[in-house]
Structure 1
Amino acid sequence: MVPPLVLDIDGTLTDADGHLDPRAFDVLPSWDAPVVLATGKAFPYPVSLCHYLGLPETVVAENGGVVLVEGDVTFAGDREDAQAAADEFVARGGDLGWGPADTVNRWRETEIAISLDADEALLREVSAEFDLEVVDTGFAYHVKSPGVEKAVGLEHVCDRLDYDPADFVAIGDSENDASTFGVAGQSYAVANADDVAKAAADEVLEDSYMDGTLSVLQSLQES
Structure 2
Amino acid sequence: MSRQALVLSMTSEPPLVLDIDGTLTDDAGRLDSRTFPYLQAWNAPVVLATGKAFPYPVTLCHYLGIELTVIAENGGVVLADGQVSYQGDRERAQAAADAFVERGGDLGWDGFDDVNEWRRTEVAVDLSADEDLLRTVAAEFDLEVVDTGYAYHLKTPGVEKGDGLGVVASSLGRSPSEFVAIGDSENDVSTFRAAGTAYAVANADAAARDAADVVVDGSYFDGTASVLGSLGST
TM-score by shorter chain over 0.5: yes
* Counterpart for residue 50 of structure 1: 61
Describe how 1:71-110 pairs up with structure 2 within 5 A. 71-110=82-121
| Equivalent of residue 212 in structure 1, options 219, 223, 230 | 223
Aligned residue number for residue 148 of structure 2? 137
Q: How many residues align?
A: 223
User: What one-letter code is carried by the residue in structure 2 that aligns with 1:44?
Assistant: P
Partner Cα distance (2:218, 2:233) in 1: 18
Q: What whole-Å deviation, never above 9, does each CA across 1:104-160 have from its counterpart, x for those lacking one?
A: 000000000000000000000000000001000000000000000000000000111
1:70–1:222: structure 2 CA closer, same or farther, 3 Å change rule? closer
Match of 2:192 in 1: 181
Matched, 1:38 2:25: no
Separation in structure 1 between the aligned mates of residue 106 and residue 131 of structure 2, nearest angstrom: 11
- Which deviations, in whole Å up to 9, do the C-alpha atoms of 1:164-207 show, x marking residues without a partner? 00000000000000000001110000000000000000010101
Give the match for residue 192 of structure 1.
203
Q: Distance in 1 between matches of 2:194 and 2:178?
A: 9
Look up the equivalent residue of 1:3 and give its one-letter code. P
Q: 1:148 aligns with which of 136, 143, 159?
A: 159
Aligned twin of 2:16: 5
Q: 1:15-54: per-residue Cα shift (whole Å, max 9, x none)?
A: 0000000000111011110000000000000000000000
Q: Offset of 1:71 from its aligned partner?
A: 1.1
- Is 1:29 the counterpart of 2:40? The answer is yes
What is the aligned-residue identity percentage?
A: 67
Letter in 1 for 2:183: G
SS at structure 2 position matched to 1:25: helix
TM-score, normalization by structure 2? 0.94
* Distance in 2 (alpha carbons) for counterparts of 1:152 and 1:190: 22
**Letter paired with 2:128:** D
3-state SS of 1:170 partner = strand
SS at match of 1:131: coil
Amino acid at match of 1:196: A
TM-score of the superposition, structure 1-length normalised? 0.99
Aligned-pair distance for 1:222? 4.5
Q: CA deviation at 1:101?
A: 1.2
In structure 2, stretches of 5+ residues that fail to align are 1-11
- What is the distance in 2 between the residues matched to 1:38 and 1:12? 11
Secondary structure class of the residue paired with 2:79: strand
Determine helix, strand or coil for the equivalent of 1:28. Answer: helix
Q: Which runs of 4+ in 1 moved over 2 A?
A: none
